[in-house]
Chains A and B, each alone.
Chain A
Amino acid sequence: MKRQGPVLVAFVTGVIVLAGYFFNSQTVVDMSTQIVRWQNIVAAFALALGGVNMFRLHGKNIIGRKKNWVYSCIFMVAFVSYFVLGVAKSTTSAEYQYIWQNLYQPAASTMYSFTLFYMTSACWRAFRIRNWQAAVLMVTGAVVLLGQVGIGAAISEAIPAVSAWIIDTPNAAAIRAITIGGSLGMVVMSIRVILGLERTYMAGRQD
């Protein structure tokens, strides 16, 4: 039952959601919509589970005085205080929003902005033209890079035009091929899950 239960759930829900997409029966559509809504509830639980896991992980770090446990303390203080504030005064309260806008938002934006510096130094070291394929890649990348910003048009009107052609024609053809190929794979995988042939989602084992 431990194995048959999830397979049965996957089969029933999969068939109903699939039928809801293709058949015009109100009953089936309603059932399908309801199942999709349940998935959202499950997703919300997964989010809570993620929070609990973070709490446990950093709790263990602090108790065991593991490497960088001080950072875990900072995480705990931030996590607990912001969580309590959100629950006690609601996430729409002025205090909650003040912290988000003046602490989290600038800190998070700054952190992500740092990636630009690493990308820049990677441009100097990593983009090496070792063969003709790399040369094609670099020339294409350069044209698209300049075509996406004003300086491309300032250098030559042809740059944004060629950039647009690269994106619209060879790129679109490749993306369509990849998307269709990936979608076919997803359809096959979904059928395997619905029929119970694919069980790796249960415990990471096929049998």
Chain B
Amino acid sequence: MQQLKQTHIIWIVLTVAVLLPLIFPLKLPLGPSPEGEAAYSFIDNLPQGSISIMVLETAPSNEGELWPMALAVARHHMEKQHRIIMATFVPDGTMYAEKIRALAESDYGYVYGKDLVILPYRAGGETALASMADNIRAAYQQDHYGTPLTDYPLWADVKSIKDISVISCYTAGDDHLWLARHVWAKYQVPCISGNIALSTPEAIVYFKNGQLVGLISGVKGAAFYEQKINMPGLATQSMDAQSIGHLYLLLLMIGGNIVYWKQKKDGKNGKQGAKKNV
């Protein structure tokens, strides 16, 4: 019962600690993000009319981190008047693609089929991406709505994956590895990976090796990108909350250890007591 109360206090403090910065922003500095800067610079230097593929591996479970960065990159493409093809290998991905389409049409005057196309969901994960890379026209004959892709002027300019200026993915999985393996290694098409922060320690290796031209990591990377395009959005709003959340986690770890060492020192419970408390 006492344990339950302690847990409840931890949770209540967490809720307050995360909510307060959302209501009263602290405007903490973001710090550098060389890999995010590289992603921004690469897209920014693409000429008008370039075709990019955005692979939206986004789902409700990871949208807190991935959706803001996908939205920021999509806005950047639209600002630069790049043409966008959206693909997905998770069932929920097309829903996010629809949102980007709505934004493109309402805010940037994009015309579906001419400036933007949504490809249908494909099962298979890595092999689906490999199919797309090997022969995009064979891998997709219709768009997300069932219309033949040959009806669209945008598709006429896509003969193979080499016609794509950049492929970016937004993923909680291994898509950065798939891009490096099937797109960069075989066809030398530049790739950018947007990852959840948890995947960054692995994905950053591919950026350092030059297999990714940019990397956007977690909410921090998304917030950095939003600030680069001068459009603070979801990620910028939540950065302060994440900062305080991380600090709180650290304080809990330190506090937990103080209690543990104190118990050990007092010799009340010794090793057994400490274990019991864990």
Given A123-B252, A146-B247, A153-B28, residue A43 in contact with residue B127 (CB < 8 A): yes
Decide if B239 touches A40 in the complex (CB within 8 Å): no
Q: How far is the CB of A174 from chain B (nearest CB, A)?
A: 9
Given A120-B11, A146-B250, residue A127 in contact with residue B257 (CB < 8 A): yes
Binds B, one of A60-68, A111-119, A192-200: A111-119
Decide if B243 touches A150 in the complex (CB within 8 Å): yes
Which chain B residues lie closer than 8 Å to A175 at the CB level? 201-202, 205
Indicate with 1 or 0, residue by residue over A147-172, a CB within 8 angstroms of chain B CB atoms: 11111111000001000100110011
Q: How far is the CB of B272 from chain A (nearest CB, A)?
A: 14
B248 CB contact (under 8 Å) in A37, A120, A150: A120
Q: For the complex, is B1 an interface residue (Cβ under 8 Å from A)?
A: no
Q: For the complex, is B100 an interface residue (Cβ under 8 Å from A)?
A: no
Q: For the complex, is A128 an interface residue (Cβ under 8 Å from B)?
A: yes
Decide if A179 touches B60 in the complex (CB within 8 Å): no
> Size range of the interface on B?
35 or more
Decide if B61 touches A33 in the complex (CB within 8 Å): no
Binds A, one of B39-47, B118-126, B150-158: B118-126
Q: For the complex, is B260 an interface residue (Cβ under 8 Å from A)?
A: yes
Indicate with 1 or 0, residue by residue over B49-75, a CB within 8 angstroms of chain A CB atoms: 000000000011111100000000000
A167 CB contact (under 8 Å) in B135, B201, B218: B201
Given A40-B122, A109-B60, A125-B277, residue A148 in contact with residue B204 (CB < 8 A): no
Indicate with 1 or 0, residue by residue over A77-119, a CB within 8 angstroms of chain B CB atoms: 0000000000000111000010011001111110011001101
Within the assembled complex, what's the spacing in Å between the Cα atoms of A129 and B122? 46
Interface of A is mostly: helix
Given A43-B124, A123-B252, A128-B260, residue A112 in contact with residue B28 (CB < 8 A): no
Q: For the complex, is A142 an interface residue (Cβ under 8 Å from B)?
A: yes
Decide if A150 touches B201 in the complex (CB within 8 Å): no
Decide if B31 touches A109 in the complex (CB within 8 Å): no
Within the assembled complex, what's the spacing in Å between the Cα atoms of A37 and B133? 11
Chain A interface residue count, CB cutoff 8 Å, equals 59
Q: For the complex, is A124 an interface residue (Cβ under 8 Å from B)?
A: yes
Which chain A residues lie closer than 8 Å to B11 at the CB level? 117, 120-121
Q: How far is the CB of B196 from chain A (nearest CB, A)?
A: 11
Nearest first, the 5 closest Cβ-Cβ pairs linking A and B are A150-B28, A108-B60, A40-B124, A43-B124, A151-B243
Which A residues fall within an 8 A CB radius of B? Answer: 21, 29, 32-33, 36-37, 39-40, 43-44, 46-47, 90-92, 97, 100-101, 104-109, 112-113, 116-117, 119-121, 123-129, 138, 142, 145-154, 160, 164, 167-168, 171-172, 175-176, 179
Which B residues fall within an 8 A CB radius of A? Answer: 6-7, 10-11, 14, 26, 28-32, 34, 59-64, 92, 94-95, 98, 122-125, 127-128, 130-131, 134-135, 138-139, 144-146, 186, 197, 200-202, 204-205, 208, 218, 220, 239-240, 242-250, 252-253, 255-257, 260-261, 274, 277-278
